[in-house]
Amino acid sequence: MSDKLLIKVSTENTENSVDSKSIKSLEPKIIHGSKSVDSGISLDDSYKMDYPEMGLRIIINNKNFHKCTEMASRSGTDVDAANLREIFINLKYEVRNENDLTREEIVELMRNVSKEDHSKRSSFICVFLSHGEEGIIFGTNGPLFQRELL
């Protein structure tokens, strides 16, 4: 039996913000999730996913930024967050959405989540929908360096 997961990749146009549904050139990619020979996944490279719970998935969706950042609102991000939420709920994840967090609130959230008991979870996924660049994620009030989250 072969499980399939449909992944749609979206990009943000920095000049004219768009949501992922308006990008016609991106084709969905099907990833085979089975451990069968045709999946291309080696048993040695697979990850054990047979815990009592699939896991926890947090979506940090930063749409509105403080004036001091001079960053535009991210239109379309709510659609992306809703689509991601639906996908992971269907995959039996516990999903928590957090909207418009400052850099301090992001750090506090990650610290609090790190203190939770994850022993019955197969995985933890955190998705940042925000402005950013290499090694930097933007809270609503300014940059947060990746190393601050480690």
- What's the chain's average pLDDT? 79
Neighbours of 95 (CB within 10 A): 19
| Nearest residue to 131 (alpha-carbon basis) of 119, 143, 148 | 143
What is the per-residue pLDDT for 127?
96
Intervals of the chain under pLDDT 50? 1-37
Q: Is 3.40.50.10490 the CATH classification of the domain at 4-11+48-148?
A: no
What is the per-residue pLDDT for 42?
64
What is the per-residue pLDDT for 76?
93
What is the per-residue pLDDT for 82?
96
What is the per-residue pLDDT for 44?
67
Annotate 46-78 with b (16+ C-beta within 10 A) or e (fewer).
eeeeeeeebbbbbbbbbbebeeeeebeebebbe
**Among positive and negative, which fits the CA dihedral 34, 60, 149, 9?**
positive
What are the domain boundaries of the chain? Answer: 4-11+48-148
User: What is the value of pTM for the model shown?
Assistant: 0.69
Tell me how far apart the alpha carbons of residues 63 and 100 are, in angstroms, rounded to a whole number: 6
How many helices, marked H, and strands, marked E, lie in the chain? 2, 8
What is the per-residue pLDDT for 49?
80
